[in-house]
Amino acid sequence: MLRMFLVVLLAAAPAVRAADDTRQIVTDAMHKIVPAAKIQSVAPAPMAGFSTVVVDGHVVFVSDDGRYLVEGHVIDVNTHREITNDGLAVVRREGLAHIPAEKKLTFAPANPKYRVTVFTDVDCPYCRQFHKQIAEYNNLGIAVDYVLFPLAIHPGADKKAVTVWCNKDRNTAYTSAMNGQILAPKTCENPVGELTSIAMSIGVDGTPAIFADDGTQLGGFVPPQELAQRLAQLAQGRRSTAATQ
């Protein structure tokens, strides 16, 4: 969408305003650059004088006076942490919450410690590698909710996703497809198009894409032990935050 990476000059405006005024100025500034942009959220940025804008599943920063737009990697030098995608977390959490359990393919242990959502494509090599280890993820206490997200770069992947969904035993069909088996084509009412739209709206542009339930992206392909470690660290961070509040 936007590929400016440094700073783009926008129309100048007064610097100090109320929050509602700032939101409107920032929104107007974005629409000057991309008139048809779908702005999903506007919130104060970690940098003074800027707002974080989530637009069409991407994060940019716009100065509160509507004059400057910054796109690219933004690093907090004190914490050595990239903050660019922080604004997406809320949008992603809300997007994930709009995918009901009946529109996912779930592989889970009896009593999971953790749960992740994984956007997956039947023709994605790393998705296949991930699923080959599904028993190990489950043995580590990780429940995996797959969301079908056929990529446009894989011709015919959308039809394969629909075929998986339209099988009576979807999990078995998915496993067979991930093992390279060619399934007999099937069609039925299905959520593949809806799920694709949700994925794109929260900035998913590749598979596998792994998310915790709070919207944190945990990576693309992550081996079982490493994923368990990341989930444990995330849970510990939540407990530490709660203890200080």
Walk me through the domains of the chain, giving residue ranges and CATH numbers.
Answer: 7-85 (3.10.450.70), 99-244 (3.40.30.10)
Closest CA to 95 of 141, 149, 44: 149
pTM for the structure as a whole: 0.78
By the 8 A CB rule, do 30 and 53 touch? yes
pLDDT of residue 139: 98
**Rounded Cα gap, residues 118 and 151, in angstroms:** 14
Q: Extract the tokens encoding 169.
A: 């035993």
Measured CA to CA in angstroms, residue 61 lies from 32, 42, 51, 89, 126 at distances of: 15, 9, 6, 15, 32
Average pLDDT per block of 10 residues along the chain, 245 residues long: 41 51 92 88 90 88 93 85 80 91 97 97 97 98 98 96 98 97 97 96 93 91 97 85 64
CA atoms within 13 A on the CB side of 2: 28
Q: At what angle do helices 192-201 and 157-166 cross, to 10 degrees?
A: 120
